[in-house]
Amino acid sequence: MAIMEDMDKTIRTFTSLEAMKAEEYRNWQERPAHERMSAVSEITLATYAMKEPAPDVRRLQRTLVHLQRPRR
């Protein structure tokens, strides 16, 4: 898990869920792209770890389906 040294520890109160989500969105947009991508990677790996405890998680299986369409 990454440790953010410059973490903002301010407590904020919001009047609505929409206001809270807007603030959260602004906060993520202020972060550099590499930090956002790192967070996505961390969340993805954590989700796969909860699903299957093996460190070498299998990829999703793809199914090939051939649909025939009527000629026009």
Domain parsing of the chain, residue ranges? 17-51
Q: What is the mean pLDDT of residues 55-66?
A: 68
Q: Return all residues near 20 (Cβ < 8 A) that are at least 6 apart.
A: 14
Contacts 24+ apart (CB under 8 A), 7-10: none
**How many residues are present in the chain?**
72
pLDDT at 55: 58
pLDDT at 67: 77
Q: What is the mean pLDDT of residues 10-16?
A: 90
